[in-house]
Amino acid sequence: MLVFKFGGASVKDANGIVNLANVVKRYEGEQLLIVVSAMGKTTNALEKLTKAYFNGNDNLHNIFNEIKKYHYDIIEMLFNTPAPIFDDVANTFVEIDWIIEEDPQDEYDYIYDQIVSIGEMVSTRIVSAYLNKVGLKSQWLDVRGYIHTDNTYREGQVQWEKTSQSIHKDIPALLQKGIVVTQGFLGGTSENFTTTLGREGSDYTASIFAASLGADSVTTWKDVPGILNADPKFFKDTVKFDELTYAEAIEMTYYGASVIHPKTIKPLQNAKIPLFVKSFTDPEADGTVIKEDGINKFIKPVIILKQNQVLLSLSAKDYSFISENHLSSIFGLFAQSQVKVNTMQTSALSFSVCFDFYEERFNRLLQNLQQDFKVKYNQGLTLITVRHHSPDALKELTNGKQILLEQVSRNTVQMVVK
């Protein structure tokens, strides 16, 4: 039994969905569960829609109409009209209409999950319908009834025992009948509200299903040939890893390597399931395999960039030392605001921390911190993490940049730069 995950870039247009079907056709005869992300940049567009709704912007309906048109144009290229998929997608978009016809009453993160999740609901409807059209029998599955989470919106925490029981109850029988197509990134609460698992969480979804079902492998299909030592959008002459150990992959994702969601590896490691990262444009190529006995070969340093960072420094209002009690209070406020720390540094009188900027969470955190601490911060920064570094690589990366914070260990250097 195999689990495939197709990201937004692989289904960004009609040709992408045709290509997905061609890739799937190569595995006819296999039991196959397919996890699909929202199409192209739909998640970004739905985030924009959510902000417009929450802030009462006049362009709300224009944004929504563009999102709908984008999907309907793809459907028209794939299907003869009329086709049932048009009504299925229209009925799914109605869920957003119901939300935005009234003024927002709930917290932003809850509203975010209810709106942004529609991207995956629509994309999977279209993919499943197209697979059936070309003779690849598939069944659409609503993941929210199988991946159960708590009520931490935008960062749903998976309830593993309940999730595993739900998956075991139904999915094996469905796989006997054909391909199962479901949504990445999403979960459901006990009250039947939608949660999301964190941005780029579709990889994590695939690993949850694989671990629960005892899959032979997971393959995540990307627009790159495998896992590279750096993002090719920012660096030339990148090199591909043929193999990586689970441990090295966990380190890379922890520091922000975007090719795999950080939570993806651990369930697969526990179940000893290999993860393949392959190119959807060259499915015959080997890609990269992550497994327990993988071989790590570092021809070049691994370079990871995280942009749109905040560097925030705290000090006690009475100039006292930053103590364990202070740190306990600070981390409690970070957890309460759902802000994850990317790197940190402490001195006698101050504590500095770098994290991703999310406006609503940052404002909430800032307000709480300012009650007890003096706060200074810089925005619009970049966090550079270099694993297996060399002096020449570090010199090249920091040339012409102002380093605001630096940490060096045996295998890893982290620098917050402006």
Query: At 287, is the pLDDT very low, low, confident or very high (cuts 50, 70, 90)?
Result: very high
Which DSSP symbol is given to 338?
T
For 7, 322, 329, the CA distances from 313, given in Å and listed in that order, are: 37, 12, 15
Least confident of 129-133, 200-204, 352-356: 200-204
Share of residues in the chain with pLDDT > 70 (%): 100
SS3 304: strand
Tens-place pLDDT, residues 303-314? 999 999 999 999
The greatest distance separating any two alpha carbons of the chain, rounded to the nearest whole angstrom, comes to 72
For position 259, what pLDDT does the model report? 77
For position 170, what pLDDT does the model report? 94
For position 301, what pLDDT does the model report? 93
Q: Determine the Cα–Cα distance for residues 344 and 328; give it in Å rounded to an integer.
A: 14
> Whole-model pTM?
0.90
Q: Annotate 315-365 with DSSP letters as a single string.
A: EETT-----HHHHHHHHHHHHHTT--EEEEEE-SS-EEEEEE--HHHHHHH
Q: Mean pLDDT, the chain, as a whole number?
A: 95
Q: Determine the Cα–Cα distance for residues 306 and 297; give it in Å rounded to an integer.
A: 24
Amino acid making up residue 199? R
* Closest listed residue to residue 31, CA positions, set 139, 122, 187: 139
Helices (H) and strands (E) in the chain, counts: 13, 16
Question: What is the helix (H) or strand (E) element at residue 355, kind and residue range?
Answer: strand 351-356
For position 52, what pLDDT does the model report? 97
Q: Determine the Cα–Cα distance for residues 249 and 261; give it in Å rounded to an integer.
A: 10
CA end-to-end span of the chain, whole Å? Answer: 47
Q: Are 333 and 376 in contact (CB under 8 A)?
A: no
For position 179, what pLDDT does the model report? 98
Which fold does the domain 2-291 belong to in CATH? Carbamate kinase (3.40.1160)
Least confident of 63-77, 99-113, 318-332: 318-332
Angle at 313 between CA 309 and CA 316, to 5 degrees: 155
Whether the predicted pLDDT of 51 surpasses 80 = yes
* Closest listed residue to residue 34, CA positions, set 175, 186, 135: 175
* Closest listed residue to residue 199, CA positions, set 367, 42, 1, 33: 42
For position 166, what pLDDT does the model report? 98
The answer to whether 8 is a known ligand-binding residue is yes
HSE-up (13 A, CA, CB side) for residue 316 = 15
For position 309, what pLDDT does the model report? 97
The pLDDT of 166-179, averaged and rounded, is: 96
The answer to whether 43 is a known ligand-binding residue is yes
Domain residue extents for the chain = 2-291, 302-417
For position 160, what pLDDT does the model report? 97
Whether the predicted pLDDT of 128 surpasses 90 = yes
Q: What's the CATH number for 302-417?
A: 3.30.2130.10
Q: Determine the Cα–Cα distance for residues 266 and 320; give it in Å rounded to an integer.
A: 40
Q: Determine the Cα–Cα distance for residues 268 and 291; give it in Å rounded to an integer.
A: 9
The pLDDT of 358-378, averaged and rounded, is: 94
HSE-up (13 A, CA, CB side) for residue 301 = 22
Query: At 299, is the pLDDT very low, low, confident or very high (cuts 50, 70, 90)?
Result: confident
The answer to whether 5 is a known ligand-binding residue is yes
For position 159, what pLDDT does the model report? 98
Tokens found for residue 7: 């990201």
Tens-place pLDDT, residues 262-282? 899 999 999 999 999 999 999
For position 56, what pLDDT does the model report? 93
Share of residues in the chain with pLDDT > 90 (%): 85
Cβ neighbours for 129, distance < 8 A, ≥ 6 positions apart: 79, 83, 84, 85, 88
Tokens found for residue 377: 């911060």
Which DSSP symbol is given to 101?
T
Query: At 80, is the pLDDT very low, low, confident or very high (cuts 50, 70, 90)?
Result: confident
Q: Determine the Cα–Cα distance for residues 316 and 369; give it in Å rounded to an integer.
A: 10
Least confident of 23-27, 120-124, 249-253, 375-379: 249-253
Which DSSP symbol is given to 164?
H
